[in-house]
Amino acid sequence: QVQLVESGGGLVQAGGSLRVSCAASGSIFTINAMGWYRQRPGAQREFVALITKSGTANYADSVRGRFTISRDNAKNTVYLQMNSLKPEDTAVYYCYTETASTIRTTGYWGKGTQVTVSS
């Protein structure tokens, strides 16, 4: 099993910045893609950003140009740098990691970290 632990969430004013992190540990053979999803109050979980093992990043339209995803493969960690934050960015941010073995590909979710942006 693989465990994902998010950190770095908190309260920030509109226009400010925050960086959340996610560290993977456990029975890891290799990690493919790593990413972030979020769930805003009263809404379904939505895609935010994804980064492949080779470093190619993809972003939701709502965050493109403001957020930057990165990863440290040696530490099995993915980061999300959030700039120019807006109140509508308020959500629980969940880390997603896809691992692979010689048998199968498996997806894992973190428990989430709260990000609150005040106006």
pLDDT at position 47 over 90: yes
Q: Which residue is it, tokens 């769930």?
A: 39
Q: What does the pLDDT read at residue 27?
A: 85
Average pLDDT of the chain, as a whole number: 96
Contact 110, 118 (CB under 8 A): no
Average pLDDT of span 83-112: 95
pLDDT at position 12 over 90: yes
| Residue percentage of the chain with pLDDT more than 90 | 93
Closest CA to 18 of 27, 10, 26: 10
Report the DSSP beta bridge partners of residue 93.
38, 113
Q: What does the pLDDT read at residue 116?
A: 98
Q: Token digits for 93? A: 């941010």
CA-to-CA dists, residue 108 to 5, 51, 113, angstroms: 11, 15, 15
